[in-house]
Structure 1
Protein backbone atom coordinates (compact mmCIF):
# COMPACT_ATOMS: atom_id res chain seq x y z
CA UNK A 1 0.00 0.00 0.00
CA UNK A 2 1.20 3.52 -0.83
CA UNK A 3 0.49 6.42 1.54
CA UNK A 4 -1.36 9.41 -0.01
CA UNK A 5 0.92 11.79 -1.90
CA UNK A 6 0.56 15.04 -3.86
CA UNK A 7 -1.28 13.25 -6.66
CA UNK A 8 -4.01 12.14 -4.25
CA UNK A 9 -4.30 15.71 -2.95
CA UNK A 10 -4.57 17.09 -6.48
CA UNK A 11 -7.29 14.61 -7.44
CA UNK A 12 -9.14 15.21 -4.16
CA UNK A 13 -9.31 18.91 -5.03
CA UNK A 14 -10.91 18.05 -8.36
CA UNK A 15 -13.33 15.70 -6.61
CA UNK A 16 -14.45 18.39 -4.17
CA UNK A 17 -15.20 20.75 -7.07
CA UNK A 18 -17.08 18.13 -9.11
CA UNK A 19 -20.87 18.70 -8.89
CA UNK A 20 -21.79 15.20 -7.73
CA UNK A 21 -25.39 14.93 -6.45
CA UNK A 22 -26.03 13.20 -3.10
CA UNK A 23 -26.55 9.49 -3.53
CA UNK A 24 -24.44 9.28 -6.68
CA UNK A 25 -22.65 5.98 -7.27
CA UNK A 26 -18.88 6.53 -7.17
CA UNK A 27 -16.11 4.06 -7.94
CA UNK A 28 -12.61 4.63 -6.57
CA UNK A 29 -10.36 2.25 -8.47
CA UNK A 30 -6.87 1.62 -7.10
CA UNK A 31 -8.04 3.13 -3.82
CA UNK A 32 -4.80 2.69 -1.83
CA UNK A 33 -5.49 4.04 1.65
CA UNK A 34 -9.05 4.98 0.70
CA UNK A 35 -8.51 8.74 1.02
CA UNK A 36 -10.52 9.55 -2.10
CA UNK A 37 -13.23 7.01 -1.27
CA UNK A 38 -13.69 8.57 2.17
CA UNK A 39 -13.80 12.08 0.68
CA UNK A 40 -16.52 11.00 -1.75
CA UNK A 41 -18.51 9.23 0.98
CA UNK A 42 -18.42 12.34 3.15
CA UNK A 43 -20.22 14.14 0.33
CA UNK A 44 -23.08 11.67 0.52
CA UNK A 45 -22.07 9.44 -2.39
CA UNK A 46 -22.50 5.68 -2.42
CA UNK A 47 -18.89 4.61 -2.79
CA UNK A 48 -17.28 1.39 -3.96
CA UNK A 49 -13.50 1.18 -3.59
CA UNK A 50 -11.33 -1.42 -5.36
CA UNK A 51 -7.68 -2.35 -5.00
CA UNK A 52 -5.60 -5.36 -6.00
CA UNK A 53 -3.73 -5.20 -2.68
CA UNK A 54 -5.28 -6.84 0.38
CA UNK A 55 -3.34 -4.40 2.58
CA UNK A 56 -5.00 -1.51 0.76
CA UNK A 57 -8.41 -3.14 1.14
CA UNK A 58 -7.92 -3.51 4.88
CA UNK A 59 -6.56 0.03 5.23
CA UNK A 60 -9.52 1.48 3.34
CA UNK A 61 -12.04 -0.40 5.47
CA UNK A 62 -10.30 0.83 8.62
CA UNK A 63 -10.07 4.44 7.43
CA UNK A 64 -13.74 4.47 6.39
CA UNK A 65 -14.68 3.08 9.81
CA UNK A 66 -12.60 5.75 11.54
CA UNK A 67 -14.23 8.45 9.40
CA UNK A 68 -17.68 7.08 10.17
CA UNK A 69 -18.70 6.76 6.52
CA UNK A 70 -19.92 3.72 4.56
CA UNK A 71 -17.59 2.48 1.81
CA UNK A 72 -17.99 -0.84 0.02
CA UNK A 73 -14.47 -2.22 -0.46
CA UNK A 74 -13.57 -4.99 -2.89
CA UNK A 75 -10.29 -6.72 -3.68
CA UNK A 76 -9.50 -7.28 -7.33
CA UNK A 77 -7.74 -6.17 -10.49
CA UNK A 78 -9.02 -2.79 -11.62
CA UNK A 79 -12.64 -3.13 -12.82
CA UNK A 80 -12.97 -6.90 -12.43
CA UNK A 81 -14.92 -6.78 -9.11
CA UNK A 82 -17.56 -4.37 -10.50
CA UNK A 83 -18.37 -5.87 -13.90
CA UNK A 84 -22.04 -5.39 -14.70
CA UNK A 85 -22.42 -2.29 -12.51
CA UNK A 86 -22.55 1.35 -13.60
CA UNK A 87 -21.41 4.56 -11.94
CA UNK A 88 -21.90 8.30 -12.02
CA UNK A 89 -18.24 9.02 -11.23
CA UNK A 90 -15.04 6.98 -11.52
CA UNK A 91 -11.93 8.12 -9.64
CA UNK A 92 -8.51 6.74 -10.56
CA UNK A 93 -5.03 7.38 -9.23
CA UNK A 94 -3.31 4.53 -11.07
CA UNK A 95 0.36 3.57 -11.32
CA UNK A 96 1.87 5.87 -13.96
CA UNK A 97 5.66 5.98 -13.48
CA UNK A 98 7.64 4.58 -16.45
CA UNK A 99 9.79 1.64 -15.40
CA UNK A 100 12.98 0.32 -17.04
CA UNK A 101 12.46 -2.53 -19.47
CA UNK A 102 13.08 -6.01 -18.16
CA UNK A 103 11.43 -5.52 -14.78
CA UNK A 104 8.34 -7.41 -15.92
CA UNK A 105 4.99 -6.82 -14.24
CA UNK A 106 5.38 -4.90 -10.96
CA UNK A 107 5.25 -6.82 -7.70
CA UNK A 108 4.78 -5.85 -4.08
CA UNK A 109 4.84 -2.15 -3.22
CA UNK A 110 6.01 -1.27 -6.75
CA UNK A 111 2.50 -2.07 -8.03
CA UNK A 112 1.53 1.36 -6.67
CA UNK A 113 3.81 3.23 -9.09
CA UNK A 114 5.52 1.07 -11.76
CA UNK A 115 3.53 1.09 -15.02
CA UNK A 116 5.64 -0.39 -17.82
CA UNK A 117 8.17 1.21 -20.10
CA UNK A 118 5.90 4.12 -21.07
CA UNK A 119 3.95 4.46 -17.82
CA UNK A 120 0.69 3.48 -19.48
CA UNK A 121 0.26 -0.14 -18.38
CA UNK A 122 -2.85 0.71 -16.32
CA UNK A 123 -3.79 4.06 -17.86
CA UNK A 124 -4.61 2.45 -21.19
CA UNK A 125 -6.87 -0.11 -19.52
CA UNK A 126 -8.73 2.67 -17.71
CA UNK A 127 -9.21 4.61 -20.94
CA UNK A 128 -10.44 1.46 -22.67
CA UNK A 129 -12.69 0.01 -19.96
CA UNK A 130 -14.00 2.90 -17.84
CA UNK A 131 -16.44 4.40 -20.39
CA UNK A 132 -18.50 1.18 -20.44
CA UNK A 133 -19.03 1.46 -16.67
CA UNK A 134 -20.37 5.02 -16.79
CA UNK A 135 -23.98 6.12 -16.91
CA UNK A 136 -24.91 8.84 -19.44
CA UNK A 137 -23.42 12.09 -18.16
CA UNK A 138 -20.96 10.16 -16.01
CA UNK A 139 -17.45 11.42 -15.36
CA UNK A 140 -13.96 9.96 -15.04
CA UNK A 141 -11.45 11.90 -12.94
CA UNK A 142 -7.91 10.55 -13.06
CA UNK A 143 -4.48 11.82 -12.13
CA UNK A 144 -1.22 11.00 -13.88
CA UNK A 145 2.26 12.32 -14.56
CA UNK A 146 3.13 14.32 -17.65
CA UNK A 147 5.84 11.68 -18.13
CA UNK A 148 3.19 9.11 -19.07
CA UNK A 149 1.48 10.94 -21.91
CA UNK A 150 -1.59 12.97 -20.91
CA UNK A 151 -2.25 13.66 -24.60
CA UNK A 152 -2.53 9.93 -25.19
CA UNK A 153 -5.02 9.69 -22.33
CA UNK A 154 -7.11 12.52 -23.79
CA UNK A 155 -6.98 10.98 -27.26
CA UNK A 156 -8.04 7.52 -26.09
CA UNK A 157 -10.92 8.88 -24.01
CA UNK A 158 -12.11 11.05 -26.86
CA UNK A 159 -11.94 8.06 -29.21
CA UNK A 160 -14.23 6.29 -26.72
CA UNK A 161 -16.77 9.08 -27.23
CA UNK A 162 -15.99 11.17 -24.16
CA UNK A 163 -15.35 14.89 -23.77
CA UNK A 164 -11.92 15.05 -22.13
CA UNK A 165 -9.62 17.81 -20.93
CA UNK A 166 -6.82 18.48 -18.45
CA UNK A 167 -8.41 20.46 -15.62
CA UNK A 168 -5.61 20.73 -13.05
CA UNK A 169 -1.82 20.85 -13.11
CA UNK A 170 0.81 20.89 -10.38
CA UNK A 171 4.60 20.76 -10.48
CA UNK A 172 6.29 18.90 -7.64
CA UNK A 173 9.81 17.95 -6.62
CA UNK A 174 11.01 14.51 -7.65
CA UNK A 175 10.09 11.82 -5.17
CA UNK A 176 12.34 8.87 -4.34
CA UNK A 177 11.11 6.74 -7.26
CA UNK A 178 11.83 9.39 -9.88
CA UNK A 179 15.15 10.30 -8.31
CA UNK A 180 16.16 6.65 -8.49
CA UNK A 181 15.45 6.44 -12.24
CA UNK A 182 16.14 10.05 -13.26
CA UNK A 183 19.13 9.13 -15.46
CA UNK A 184 17.14 6.43 -17.24
CA UNK A 185 14.21 8.79 -17.83
CA UNK A 186 16.52 11.42 -19.34
CA UNK A 187 18.24 8.83 -21.53
CA UNK A 188 14.84 7.71 -22.81
CA UNK A 189 13.86 11.30 -23.58
CA UNK A 190 10.92 11.11 -21.17
CA UNK A 191 12.42 13.80 -18.94
CA UNK A 192 13.91 16.91 -20.58
CA UNK A 193 17.44 17.77 -19.50
CA UNK A 194 16.40 21.13 -18.06
CA UNK A 195 13.39 19.77 -16.18
CA UNK A 196 13.97 19.33 -12.46
CA UNK A 197 10.35 18.88 -11.40
CA UNK A 198 7.56 16.47 -12.25
CA UNK A 199 4.23 17.78 -13.53
CA UNK A 200 1.05 16.08 -12.36
CA UNK A 201 -2.23 16.55 -14.23
CA UNK A 202 -5.88 15.74 -13.60
CA UNK A 203 -7.84 14.56 -16.61
CA UNK A 204 -11.62 14.96 -16.56
CA UNK A 205 -13.67 13.03 -19.11
CA UNK A 206 -17.45 13.16 -19.40
CA UNK A 207 -19.73 10.74 -21.23
CA UNK A 208 -22.39 12.65 -23.17
CA UNK A 209 -25.99 12.28 -22.05
Structure 2
Protein backbone atom coordinates (compact mmCIF):
# COMPACT_ATOMS: atom_id res chain seq x y z
CA UNK A 1 0.00 0.00 0.00
CA UNK A 2 2.82 2.38 0.90
CA UNK A 3 4.64 1.55 -2.34
CA UNK A 4 1.52 2.21 -4.42
CA UNK A 5 1.05 5.59 -2.69
CA UNK A 6 4.69 6.53 -3.36
CA UNK A 7 4.43 5.49 -7.01
CA UNK A 8 1.18 7.45 -7.37
CA UNK A 9 2.80 10.60 -6.04
CA UNK A 10 5.81 10.09 -8.31
CA UNK A 11 3.58 9.55 -11.36
CA UNK A 12 1.64 12.75 -10.63
CA UNK A 13 4.85 14.78 -10.23
CA UNK A 14 6.44 13.42 -13.41
CA UNK A 15 3.31 13.70 -15.55
CA UNK A 16 2.10 17.21 -14.72
CA UNK A 17 2.42 18.16 -18.41
CA UNK A 18 0.42 15.11 -19.43
CA UNK A 19 -2.41 16.08 -17.10
CA UNK A 20 -2.26 19.65 -18.40
CA UNK A 21 -2.51 18.57 -22.04
CA UNK A 22 -5.29 16.15 -21.14
CA UNK A 23 -7.29 18.99 -19.57
CA UNK A 24 -6.69 21.14 -22.66
CA UNK A 25 -7.89 18.41 -25.01
CA UNK A 26 -11.01 17.75 -22.98
CA UNK A 27 -11.83 21.46 -22.81
CA UNK A 28 -11.47 21.67 -19.03
CA UNK A 29 -10.88 25.23 -17.85
CA UNK A 30 -8.35 25.08 -15.00
CA UNK A 31 -8.87 28.75 -14.13
CA UNK A 32 -12.46 27.95 -13.15
CA UNK A 33 -11.11 25.40 -10.70
CA UNK A 34 -8.82 28.02 -9.19
CA UNK A 35 -11.78 30.36 -8.74
CA UNK A 36 -13.76 27.55 -7.15
CA UNK A 37 -11.00 26.67 -4.67
CA UNK A 38 -10.68 30.28 -3.57
CA UNK A 39 -14.43 30.76 -3.15
CA UNK A 40 -15.79 31.24 0.39
CA UNK A 41 -18.97 29.32 -0.47
CA UNK A 42 -16.92 26.36 -1.63
CA UNK A 43 -15.19 25.99 1.73
CA UNK A 44 -18.51 26.34 3.54
CA UNK A 45 -19.75 23.38 1.50
CA UNK A 46 -16.55 21.46 2.32
CA UNK A 47 -17.02 22.04 6.07
CA UNK A 48 -20.66 20.97 5.87
CA UNK A 49 -19.64 17.83 3.97
CA UNK A 50 -17.05 17.00 6.64
CA UNK A 51 -19.72 17.48 9.30
CA UNK A 52 -22.09 15.12 7.49
CA UNK A 53 -19.31 12.54 7.12
CA UNK A 54 -18.61 12.69 10.86
CA UNK A 55 -22.31 12.25 11.58
CA UNK A 56 -22.52 9.28 9.21
CA UNK A 57 -19.41 7.83 10.87
CA UNK A 58 -21.04 7.78 14.31
CA UNK A 59 -24.23 6.35 12.82
CA UNK A 60 -22.38 3.56 11.04
CA UNK A 61 -20.59 2.60 14.23
CA UNK A 62 -23.84 0.99 15.35
CA UNK A 63 -23.90 -1.34 12.31
CA UNK A 64 -22.19 -4.73 12.26
CA UNK A 65 -20.16 -4.24 9.07
CA UNK A 66 -18.44 -1.20 10.59
CA UNK A 67 -16.73 -3.50 13.09
CA UNK A 68 -15.43 -5.65 10.25
CA UNK A 69 -14.14 -2.58 8.42
CA UNK A 70 -12.47 -1.30 11.57
CA UNK A 71 -10.85 -4.72 12.08
CA UNK A 72 -9.53 -4.71 8.49
CA UNK A 73 -8.03 -1.23 8.93
CA UNK A 74 -6.48 -2.33 12.22
CA UNK A 75 -4.85 -5.32 10.49
CA UNK A 76 -3.36 -3.05 7.84
CA UNK A 77 -1.98 -0.72 10.50
CA UNK A 78 -0.52 -3.65 12.45
CA UNK A 79 1.13 -4.84 9.24
CA UNK A 80 2.79 -1.45 8.81
CA UNK A 81 3.93 -1.38 12.46
CA UNK A 82 5.43 -4.86 12.05
CA UNK A 83 8.19 -3.23 9.99
CA UNK A 84 9.76 -2.21 13.30
CA UNK A 85 10.60 -5.86 13.96
CA UNK A 86 12.43 -6.40 10.66
CA UNK A 87 15.99 -7.45 11.45
CA UNK A 88 17.77 -6.02 8.42
CA UNK A 89 15.61 -3.04 7.55
CA UNK A 90 17.93 -1.52 4.85
CA UNK A 91 18.02 -4.89 3.09
CA UNK A 92 14.22 -5.09 3.39
CA UNK A 93 13.93 -1.70 1.67
CA UNK A 94 16.33 -2.79 -1.10
CA UNK A 95 14.33 -5.97 -1.71
CA UNK A 96 11.05 -4.05 -1.73
CA UNK A 97 12.34 -1.54 -4.28
CA UNK A 98 13.79 -4.38 -6.35
CA UNK A 99 10.51 -6.29 -6.40
CA UNK A 100 8.48 -3.26 -7.49
CA UNK A 101 11.12 -2.26 -10.03
CA UNK A 102 10.99 -5.73 -11.62
CA UNK A 103 7.20 -5.60 -11.53
CA UNK A 104 7.24 -2.29 -13.37
CA UNK A 105 9.89 -3.38 -15.87
CA UNK A 106 7.84 -6.48 -16.70
CA UNK A 107 4.97 -4.17 -17.64
CA UNK A 108 7.22 -1.65 -19.44
CA UNK A 109 9.07 -4.25 -21.52
CA UNK A 110 5.73 -5.69 -22.65
CA UNK A 111 4.93 -2.34 -24.28
CA UNK A 112 7.76 -2.87 -26.79
CA UNK A 113 6.10 -6.06 -28.00
CA UNK A 114 3.23 -4.18 -29.66
CA UNK A 115 3.54 -1.62 -32.47
CA UNK A 116 0.79 0.55 -30.99
CA UNK A 117 2.52 0.92 -27.58
CA UNK A 118 6.23 0.79 -28.44
CA UNK A 119 6.39 4.56 -28.96
CA UNK A 120 4.91 5.44 -25.55
CA UNK A 121 7.47 6.78 -23.09
CA UNK A 122 8.32 5.59 -19.60
CA UNK A 123 6.11 8.25 -17.99
CA UNK A 124 3.09 6.87 -19.81
CA UNK A 125 4.07 3.38 -18.66
CA UNK A 126 4.38 4.59 -15.07
CA UNK A 127 0.94 6.20 -15.22
CA UNK A 128 -0.67 3.02 -16.52
CA UNK A 129 1.26 0.91 -14.02
CA UNK A 130 0.05 3.04 -11.09
CA UNK A 131 -3.56 3.07 -12.27
CA UNK A 132 -3.43 -0.70 -12.76
CA UNK A 133 -1.89 -1.22 -9.30
CA UNK A 134 -4.73 0.79 -7.74
CA UNK A 135 -7.32 -1.14 -9.76
CA UNK A 136 -6.23 -4.52 -8.36
CA UNK A 137 -7.52 -3.38 -4.96
CA UNK A 138 -10.94 -4.49 -6.22
CA UNK A 139 -11.39 -8.06 -4.89
CA UNK A 140 -11.20 -10.06 -8.12
CA UNK A 141 -8.74 -12.86 -9.05
CA UNK A 142 -5.44 -11.02 -9.60
CA UNK A 143 -7.36 -7.86 -10.45
CA UNK A 144 -9.00 -9.41 -13.53
CA UNK A 145 -11.56 -6.98 -14.91
CA UNK A 146 -10.73 -3.74 -13.05
CA UNK A 147 -7.08 -3.96 -14.14
CA UNK A 148 -8.08 -4.45 -17.77
CA UNK A 149 -10.56 -1.58 -17.62
CA UNK A 150 -7.95 0.77 -16.11
CA UNK A 151 -5.24 -0.09 -18.63
CA UNK A 152 -7.59 0.09 -21.62
CA UNK A 153 -8.91 3.46 -20.49
CA UNK A 154 -5.40 4.88 -20.03
CA UNK A 155 -4.20 3.56 -23.39
CA UNK A 156 -7.13 5.17 -25.20
CA UNK A 157 -6.17 8.48 -23.55
CA UNK A 158 -2.74 8.07 -25.15
CA UNK A 159 -4.33 7.60 -28.57
CA UNK A 160 -4.31 3.80 -28.79
CA UNK A 161 -7.31 2.17 -30.45
CA UNK A 162 -9.65 0.53 -27.94
CA UNK A 163 -9.44 -2.88 -29.61
CA UNK A 164 -5.63 -2.75 -29.58
CA UNK A 165 -5.70 -1.60 -25.95
CA UNK A 166 -7.85 -4.61 -25.10
CA UNK A 167 -5.35 -6.95 -26.76
CA UNK A 168 -2.47 -5.40 -24.81
CA UNK A 169 -4.32 -5.62 -21.48
CA UNK A 170 -5.43 -9.22 -22.05
CA UNK A 171 -2.00 -10.54 -23.08
CA UNK A 172 0.01 -8.58 -20.51
CA UNK A 173 -2.27 -9.55 -17.65
CA UNK A 174 -2.29 -13.15 -18.84
CA UNK A 175 1.52 -13.30 -18.78
CA UNK A 176 1.63 -11.78 -15.28
CA UNK A 177 -0.97 -14.24 -14.00
CA UNK A 178 0.84 -17.19 -15.60
CA UNK A 179 4.10 -16.10 -13.93
CA UNK A 180 2.38 -15.86 -10.54
CA UNK A 181 0.97 -19.39 -10.98
CA UNK A 182 4.41 -20.78 -11.87
CA UNK A 183 6.08 -19.05 -8.92
CA UNK A 184 3.30 -20.25 -6.62
CA UNK A 185 3.81 -23.87 -7.70
CA UNK A 186 7.58 -23.46 -7.30
CA UNK A 187 7.13 -22.05 -3.77
CA UNK A 188 4.79 -24.92 -2.77
CA UNK A 189 7.42 -27.44 -3.86
CA UNK A 190 10.56 -25.72 -2.53
CA UNK A 191 9.41 -24.13 0.75
CA UNK A 192 8.78 -27.42 2.65
CA UNK A 193 12.38 -28.53 1.93
CA UNK A 194 13.70 -25.10 2.88
CA UNK A 195 11.77 -25.11 6.15
CA UNK A 196 13.03 -28.60 7.01
CA UNK A 197 16.61 -27.51 6.40
CA UNK A 198 16.15 -24.48 8.65
CA UNK A 199 14.71 -26.68 11.42
CA UNK A 200 17.65 -29.08 11.07
CA UNK A 201 20.15 -26.25 11.36
CA UNK A 202 18.34 -24.87 14.40
CA UNK A 203 18.63 -28.26 16.13
TM-score by length of 2: 0.25
Larger helix fraction of residues: 2
Which entry has the higher C-alpha Rg, 1 or 2? Answer: 2
TM-score by length of 1: 0.24
Larger strand fraction of residues: 1
